[in-house]
A and B are shown apart, each in its own frame.
Chain A
Amino acid sequence: MTLHRVCARDELSPGDCRIVEVGGRSIGVYNVHGEFHALLNRCPHGGAPLCRGIVSGLSTSEGPGRPVHWTMDGEIVRCPWHGWEYEIATGETVTEPVIRVKTFPVVVDDGDLMVELA
């Protein structure tokens, strides 16, 4: 297990993503409402650089003709190639059957964000 420095904590504001190369891998580190998460920057669907996708929310509805709600704002990343939606915190698609993108723990160490690789 190794820790790799991403940036100073204060450099990653809520809603932002920073893509870093660590341990030979491209990883996107996110600040979601003050919580930090890291995803492998590779969509398991088609291999796209997932973390270059926009950070978005989730549309939900009780049915056609009913209101469409906007939920989980800032908690979803939308793949730039085919629009697959992933929850940043879990790396799971919002659609079933669930596909997962690899996630990594992020720790704060003396004011720095560190991503942890196995």
Chain B
Amino acid sequence: MKLVDAAAHPVGATGDEIRRYMKEPWRSAYFPGPERYHYASPFGEYDDATVPSAGGLPGSDPALLVEQLGVDAAARVVLLPLTRGLLPNTDLGSAVCAATNDWLAEQWLDTDDRFRGSIRVNPSDPDAAVAEIERWADDSRFVQVAVPLHSHHPYGQRGYFRIWEEAAKRRLPVAFHADGGAGVDFHPSAAGPLRYALEYNALLPFTAAYHLASLIAEGVLERLPDARFVFADGGLSALVPIVWRLDKDWRSTRVEVPWTTKLPSVYIREQVRFCLTRADLPRGRGDASWWSIAQADELLLYASNYPQYDWLSSDAVPDGGAPARVFAENARELYGQRLMS
């Protein structure tokens, strides 16, 4: 099976491994470890089976990842390493991103030609983010740009625009994923900080909803027809009624956003994709209308989310639960030549 895993999360053997790729003063600066500080699953955030036998953090062994995911010769795995959240010192944040990219290239991409990478950039510093994209764009093993799901402003707002513009120019999709570490990003709820993993996990798609609406209303998708955005934490099904509402209200409120020319759902179909995580759809195709309503056949990308405790093997997806294109063609269309070259 020519499978494409659109999001696996490689981890350093230790939380300090990326320091080897940093210069002073950042190398010896304090910054958080790779694990998310809040809302961890009460029985552990990672699958214990992903701990390498020789030791090291879960998900830190490339060979074990390949074995456990059952990656065959034709498959591709898009690696999306987490960073440490939006750090208050934005230069330190950019240094962590750059070091993560150097680490990913040397420790992972160089070890297996089925691996593809994500260019981590710091959205709080658009200058540095654009420079980081330029630094890696000619390395065809990097297939996308990645930023944290949680942010300081909705991602459609103008301060971020040139990051997306640079990514689109290079035909690199931009992935949003909840980050590791502990930054000064906003707490993951507009109602105030949540308390428990249950709330965090179930409500995460609503953070995606803010960005999605912002990218549409602010005209980012209209201005950058080559831009592609991936919600790598998934959540498509939770967003379906929000997309209906966006469609319904767009005709009424278009006067305020005259640069938009299409129904929001049309922009989404053309330019936005979601990983399979939190796609709370019927197990089988029996109620195909739900898949159709969610545009799920076109919008979903299989992603393992390895090494999270609930990582999803492609074998674990119920028979008939998703069409073949979700496991390969959708990702191939999205990532284009870089993916299979």
Interface residues of A (CB under 8 A from B): 45, 58-66, 68-69, 82-85, 93-97
Shortest Cβ distance from residue A66 to the other chain B in the assembled complex, whole angstroms: 8
4 closest A-B pairs by CB: A83-B252, A59-B258, A61-B258, A64-B219
Partner of A84, one of B222, B252, B256, B259: B252
Contact A84-B258, Cβ < 8 Å, known A65-B158, A96-B263, A97-B263:
no
B253 touches A63 (CB 8 A): no
Contacts of B222 in A (CB 8 A): 63
Q: Tell whether A64 pairs with B223 under 8 Å between CB atoms, given A59-B258, A83-B255.
A: yes
Q: A96-B261, A96-B262, A97-B263 are in contact. Are A64 and B251 (CB under 8 A)?
A: no
**Is B254's beta carbon under 8 Å from chain A?**
yes
Interface residues of B in 38-57 (CB under 8 A from A): none
CA distance A97 to B156 in the complex (A): 24
Q: Is B218 an interface residue (CB 8 A)?
A: yes
B223 touches A63 (CB 8 A): yes
**Which residues between 207 and 249 of chain B lie within 8 Å of chain A, taking CB atoms?**
218-219, 222-223
Are B258 and A60 interface neighbours, CB within 8 A? yes
Query: A93 to B250, alpha carbons, bound, how many Å?
Result: 12
Q: Once the chains bind, are A61 and B251 in contact (CB under 8 Å)?
A: no
Query: Which residues of B have CB within 8 Å of A45?
Result: 251
Report whether A59 and B255 are in contact in the complex, using a CB–CB cutoff of 8 Å.
Answer: yes
A56 CA / B122 CA spacing, docked (Å): 44
Q: Is the CB of B254 within 8 A of A61?
A: no
A63 and B263 CA atoms in complex are apart in Å by 16
CB of A45, distance to nearest CB on chain B (Å) = 8
Q: Return the chain A residue nearest B261 by Cβ.
A: A96
B residues near A60, Cβ cutoff 8 Å: 258
Contact: B259 with A95, CB < 8 Å? no
Smallest CB–CB gap between A115 and chain B, Å?
A: 27
**From B218, which residue of chain A is reached at the shortest CB distance?**
A64
Which residues on B are within 8 Å of A, measured CB to CB? 158, 218-219, 222-223, 250-256, 258-259, 261-263
Interface of A is mostly: loop
The reply to whether A85 and B251 form a contact with Cβ atoms under 8 Å apart is: yes
Q: How far is the CA of A46 from the CA of B249 in the complex (A)?
A: 13
Contacts A63-B219, A63-B223; A82 near B251 (Cβ below 8 A): yes
- For residue B219, which residues in chain A have a CB less than 8 angstroms away from its CB? 63-64
Shortest CB-to-CB span from B218 to chain A, Å, is 6
Chain B residues closer than 8 Å to A65, beta-carbon distance: 158
A62 cross-chain contacts in B, Cβ below 8 A: 259
- Minimum CB–CB distance from A19 to chain B (whole Å) comes to 22
Query: Which residues of chain B are near A66, meaning CB under 8 Å?
Result: 259
How many angstroms between the C-alpha atoms of A81 and B254 in the bound complex? 15
B255 and A61: CB pair below 8 A? no
In the complex formed, the residue of A with least CB distance to B255 is: A59
CA distance A64 to B223 in the complex (A): 9
Known: A65-B158, A96-B261, A97-B263. A85 touches B254 (CB 8 A): yes
- Complex formed: what's the CA distance from A113 to B258 in Å? 35
State how many angstroms separate the Cβ of A5 from the closest Cβ of chain B.
34
Tell whether, in the assembled complex, residue A95 and residue B254 are in contact, meaning their CB atoms are under 8 Å apart: yes
Which residues does chain B contribute within 8 Å of A58, judged by CB atoms?
Answer: 255, 258
Bound complex: CA A61 to CA B253 (Å): 14
Chain B residue at minimal CB-CB distance from A59: B258
In the complex, which residues of chain B have a beta carbon less than 8 angstroms from the beta carbon of A68? 258
Q: Which residue of A lies closest to B161 (CB)?
A: A64
**A82: which B residues are within 8 A, CB to CB?**
251-252
The listed residue (B158, B218, B223, B251) touching A95 by CB distance below 8 A is: B251
Sample of 20 more A-B contacts, CB < 8 Å, known A58-B258, A83-B255: A45-B251, A58-B255, A59-B256, A61-B258, A62-B259, A63-B219, A64-B223, A68-B258, A69-B258, A82-B251, A83-B251, A83-B252, A84-B251, A84-B252, A85-B254, A85-B255, A94-B254, A95-B254, A95-B263, A96-B262
A94 to B251, CA, bound (A): 9
What are the residues of chain B within 8 A of A83 when measuring CB–CB? 251-253, 255
Q: How far is the CA of A58 from the CA of B261 in the complex (A)?
A: 13
